[in-house]
Amino acid sequence: MRTQTVALLSVLSLAVLAACSTAQDDSQSAESAQTDEDAARGALRVLGAKIQNEDRTDATCRSCHDPNKLTLKKWSDNYKKTMAFISDEGKSVDERINFMRRNPEDTASSFAPSKLGILTAGTHFTPGATIDSVRHPSVYKDAQLLAKLFAGKEDLYKQFKVDTLMPIEATYDRLSPAEFEKVISWFDKGMPKLDELLVEEPRPTTCTDDFAGLKDHVRAIKSTSWAAVNRDSRMPMFACSTDNPLECFNQKTAAGKEIFPESRNTEVGKTWSPSEDNFRVVRELEYKTFFWMRTSADGRFVANGGGPRVDGAGAVIADIAAALDPAGPKTRDISVSASYDPDFFPANQGFMFQGGGKFCSLSLLKNLAVTKVSLDEPQCSKLESVGLYQTVGQVSGDNAISDIFVVNSTFASDNPGLSATDKDLQLTAGPEATVNVHVGVARGNDADGGYQIKQNASLPTPFKGDTMMARSGQLIGSRVAGETKALGYAIDKLVFSPGGEGYRFSLTPAGRICMPGNKANFSFDERFLVTHHYLTREDFDSDAAWAPYKDKGASDIYLADFVTGKKTRITRMNPGQFAIYPHFRSDGWMYFMVRDANSKKETVVATDSTIRAIAANPF
C-alpha cells in the first residue's frame, strides 16, 4: 500500500512538474513571441509615456518625470554606459563601484541615480524570492551583477540602494519585478519602435529676451510683494542692527574680529566678488550636504539635505544665530528625518522637507532645546502628493496663515560631483510636460496648527520644467528644454481666483530670459531671477583663461534684473570651487553655497548684490 501511494505521488509530482514546465515554457514562448511593438507598448505604458492614439496611463514615473523620447534616450544612454563600465572585469571592483558616484574620484561622494539611467528604478531588487532568472531574466541579470559587485561590502551596498532608490517618496509605488522586467528588457533591446509610437512635435530651438511684462509685474506688485509685507510688519532680519540692509553682517567679536568675514578678507574667497558687492561668509559647515540649500525668510535658518546622519536623520537645519551668542556654542545644527529639498514659507511661519513630505512650524526650530526634528512633532503636518523639487508661494493676505501654493514639475536632478564633468543639466521636458499646483490650507488659527493639501491642479507647460515659484504665487519660472540644451527661462503669470470648489488656475506668458543656468529662484520683491551655471569655455575670453578650469571645473552665480534687463555674472569662483543653489531672504540678501573640491569644505555665503542693484536703479 505504501509503495502504491509513493508511486501515485510520484506520478502526480511528475505531472505537476510537467505542467509547471509547460507553463514556464509557454510564458517564455509568449515573451519571446512578442513583437517589438508589443514590447514597446508594454514598457511605455508602465512608464506613463504618451503613446500615439492611446490615453496616457497614470504611472508612477509620471509623478516626477516626463517619459518622452528625449528622456528615454537619455536614460538609455546612461544605463548602457554604466552597465558597460561595471561589467568590465578588467577594472577593479572599487573602480566600478566608484564610477557610479557623483564624483568617481571622491569615495565620500554619494551615488548618482542619473548615472544609472533607467536602472535606478530597479536597484531596490535583490536576487531571491521576488525575482528569478525565469520570470524576470533581465531584472535578475542586473540584480545579480550589482549583488556580485558589492559582495562583502554590505554597508556600502545598502548606502548605494538608499542613494539610488526611485521614487524616493514612499507615497509613490515602486515598480514591481514584472513591471520593471517589461521596461528593462525593452531598454536592453535598444527601445525598438520608440520613434513610431511616440510622435512628438518639434522642440524649440531659439530664445529671445523679453523683459517688458516682467518689468510691469515688478511695479504692479511693489507694495504687495512678500518683501513689502514683511518689511511693513517689521520682520527682524538676521544679523541686522538697523533698517538699512547694507549694514547687516557687520558684527564683530569682543576682540574686534569679524564674525561674518568679507570674502575678500579670506584666503580662499579673495576673488569671489568682482565688484563692490559685499560677500559675507555666513557659516563653514562641518558636514556634507546633498542637493539644494534654502533659507528662512529672516535668514536665520539654513536647511540642506544630507548632514549628520544620526538616528535615521538625513537632513540638517543650521541655526546661524548661534554665532552671535557670546555665551553659547558657536554652532547649532538640528538634524531632520528627511531627505532633501527644503523650502521655507515667505511669511517666516514654517518650512517643509521631502523624504517625509511634511510641513513644520518655525516655532519648532526657535526652541533652543530642539536638536532633532522627527517630522512627527505636534508642530508638523503631512503635505500629501507634493513631488520633488518643490517651491512654496503664499497668497499675500492680511494674515500669516493665508493659503499656500506648492509647485513641482518635470525636473533634472542636480547635486554636483565637484569635478570638470559637471555641466548645466540637460532638461528633457516634452510636449506633455505639466506644472502641478498643490493648494495648502491652514488647519487652525496659527502655523502650529499646520497645513493640509486641499486641491491639486495640473497645467500644461510644454517643453518646460525645473519650475520654481515666486513667493507671491503669481509667477513661475521654468527652464525651456531644447533638443541638446536648455534655452533660457520662460516666465509665466499664474492667474488664480477662488471658486466654489477651490481655486481656478491658468497660465499666461510674462517674459523670457536667455541666460545659462539651472533651476532659478525669484527674489521676494520679484524683481530678480538668480541661478547657478557650470562654467564652460564660452564663459572665458581666451583658452589661457579657461585652462585652469578645464580640469577642475567651477560654477558661478548669474542674476537677471527684470527692471534694467541686465544679466550679470556676479561671482568669480576659483577653479574647483562651485557656487550653487542661490536663493533669497526677504530683505534682498542672497544666500548661496560654495562647495570647494580643493579643500573639501562647504560654506554658506551671503551677498548684497541685489540690494546694491536696487540702490543704483530704483523703481
Q: Which residues are paired to 435 by β-bridges?
A: 409, 459
Residue 11 belongs to some domain of the structure: no
596 and 447 in a common domain: yes
Q: pLDDT at position 60, please?
A: 64
- Does residue 265 belong to any structural domain of this protein? yes
* 7 within some domain: no
Between 216 and 328, residue with greater pLDDT? 216
Sign of CA dihedral 15, 18, 22, 24: positive
Pair 441, 482 in one domain: yes
Q: Which residues have C-beta within 8 Å of that of residue 140, sequence separation ≥ 6?
A: 127, 131, 132, 133
Instruction: Note whether 185 and 230 are same-domain residues.
Output: no
Domain around 307: 212-616
Strands (E) in 261-342, as ranges, are 279-285, 289-295, 301-306, 315-319, 333-336
In this structure, are residues 586 and 298 in contact, taking their beta carbons and an 8 Å threshold? yes
* End-to-end Cα separation, the chain, in angstroms: 103
Same domain, yes or no: 254 and 119: no
| ∠ CA 103-106-108, rounded to 5° | 105
Q: Note whether 515 and 540 are same-domain residues.
A: yes
**Three-class DSSP category at 513:** strand
pLDDT greater than 50 at residue 512: yes
> Is the pLDDT assigned to residue 376 strictly greater than 80?
yes
Of 132 and 30, more confident: 132
Strand-pairing partners, residue 332, are: none
C-beta of residue 143 within 8 angstroms of C-beta of residue 127 = yes
Q: Is residue 202 part of a domain?
A: no
Q: Whole-angstrom Cα distance, residue 144 to residue 136?
A: 12
Residues 345 and 370 in one domain: yes
Q: Which three cell numbers stand for residue 304?
A: 540642506
∠ CA 80-339-310, nearest 5°, is 115
What is the pLDDT, as a whole number, of residue 160?
A: 94
pLDDT tens across 78-93, in order? 999 999 999 999 999 9
For residues 387 and 352, what is the distance between their CA atoms, to the nearest angstrom?
A: 12
Asked whether 582 and 590 are in contact (CB, 8 A), the reply is yes
Look at the block and give the residue holding cell 509623478: 63
Same domain, 222 and 193: no
Higher pLDDT, 110 or 233: 233
**pTM of the full predicted structure?**
0.86
Count other Cβ atoms within 10 Å, centred on residue 114.
Answer: 18
Please list the alpha-helical segments (H only) found in 120-211. 137-149, 154-164, 177-188, 194-197
Helical ranges in 283-391 per DSSP H: 363-366
CATH code (residue 438): 2.120.10
Q: Give the model's pLDDT for residue 558.
A: 98
Averaged pLDDT for residues 23-51: 73
In whole angstroms, what is the distance from residue 613 CA to residue 608 CA? Answer: 9
Confidence of residue 131 (pLDDT cuts 50, 70, 90): confident
Q: Which of 106-110, 203-207, 241-245, 491-495 has the lowest mean pLDDT?
A: 106-110
Q: Among 197, 220, 246, which residue terminates a domain?
A: 197
What's the pLDDT at 480? 97
Amino acid at 458: S
- Spatial contact of 150 and 157, defined as CB atoms under 8 Å apart: yes
Residue type, 119: L
Query: Residue 578: helix, strand or coil by DSSP?
Result: strand
In which band, very low, low, confident or very high, does the pLDDT at 12 lie, cut at 50, 70 and 90? very low
Quick check: is 322 in a domain? yes
Return the closest-CA partner of residue 314 out of 361, 375, 369, 256.
Answer: 375
Q: What band does 400 get if pLDDT is binned at 50, 70 and 90?
A: low
Number of domains in the chain: 2
Hey, what's the torsion of the CAs at 469, 473, 474, 477, to 10 degrees? Answer: 0
Residue 207 domain-assigned? no
Q: With CA atoms as reference, report the closest residue to 309 among 229, 356, 372.
A: 372
Residue finishing a domain among 162, 197, 232: 197
Residues 242 and 178 grouped into a single domain: no
Residues 161 and 216 reside in one and the same domain: no
Give the end of a domain, one of 197, 230, 259. Answer: 197
Asked if 149 and 274 sit in the same domain, the reply is: no
- Residue 5 sits at φ, ψ, to 5 deg, of -65, -45
Mark whether 241 and 191 lie in a shared domain.
no
User: CB of 204 within 8 A of CB of 514?
Assistant: no
Residues 408 and 511 in one domain: yes
Q: Give me the helix-helix angle, 177-188 and 69-86, nearest 10°.
A: 90
Residue 14 within a domain = no
CA distance linking residue 281 with residue 398, whole number of Å = 35
Answer whether residue 507 shows pLDDT above 60: yes
Residue 13 lies in a domain: no
